[in-house]
Structure 1
């Protein structure tokens, strides 16, 4: 599934509650750090502690760098080398970083990230280092695990007297065709006014069966004080 940049950024706006935006920040920080480490490995010619004939130098710690994005400040660590210098090409084209990075994160959130989407991110950010397919696959798997844990997390930690439901239609690529898909979002509101994104689901259309499936999924995860049976 591949959503348009415009639609993905609309989904980002939907996640701007405290918990949703923090998730985006954490995933963005983790994704960039993983890509930076992979690029450094390519430049060095070897993994951490690996003995390889292609090795050109050794790692020598990290230096901190803060990258400001729409989701907040990302605290990154730039590898230092014993010989020569390294600065990730991923951070050189800052004008495109938010759009490309959030596109990957939002796609991962609603439907699972693909190796192609991460490849596209690397290219969009201007990296020509040729990060290996195995590295991209590993990063995708770790992102899927982190986002799946958020999507399926238990909701019995607090009661939500109010539940706001919203839906939008976005264009998505499914089986090599561009089709319209329904994205439904549930935001719970606590007694003291706190807001939390409690669920997101993608389907073919806003049918009664689809809404029922979505709401039952929320209840199965422990959502309480809801007005449906």
Structure 2
């Protein structure tokens, strides 16, 4: 549709009047692509909304005399807001009395929109350096995201993770799966291998829940005892069976910290151990199938005979 057709039918589509349509077309003609056009439109709309809110706070239009006026305008504060469409240059109105902040339009003291914050945090958790995160943001059109700003955006991750890791454990969890893995972590300015221990529980309703995790220098009985004790202090109760590998320290910690709880060797770890004693692929697959068949018996006597 030509520009003249759009102007002659202003009520079609967006329902804009002629001046609004002309302004939109003029804005579109100045932009090189739809991304830039979207950024310009959002920037114009946000600035217009803030002007409207400031005018309502004053009680009268700008420059007019009215007995209903309760405040007056006093210029603007230039602010930059980083978004997925690029940097928005915003003009936040200032008032002579009090302070105006665009509640509902911008998050207080936030210069980056939520989607960009989520993207930056995801890259940070994945191990991308703050400098490279800034370069990625620049490719997305955000030119004002420095390494220090990336660090500030990710500063709250530790608090959120700690709150999740130490939250109260509610209800009973009759079954608990325990495991550990070694991974590289940055501690004291250097990378070192640490043991990350984890616990997953199944509630009485049959739903699995991630109960917690912790890092230790090594997977020892003392470390497992401390970790299981922290789970118990947070409310873990009703555990009837713990499933894990055959680590001696872990088995001893379960017996000491969770009295009355039985222990069972993890089927997957058992299969791995048995396959390690078989030296051909066909034999390894057969061994895994046999272990699975033995463990799948519903009758205890049959299961023992199968073993």
Q: TM-score, normalised by structure 1?
A: 0.49
For CA contacts below 8 A with separation 6 or more, give which structure has more relative contact order: 1
Q: TM-score, normalised by structure 2?
A: 0.38
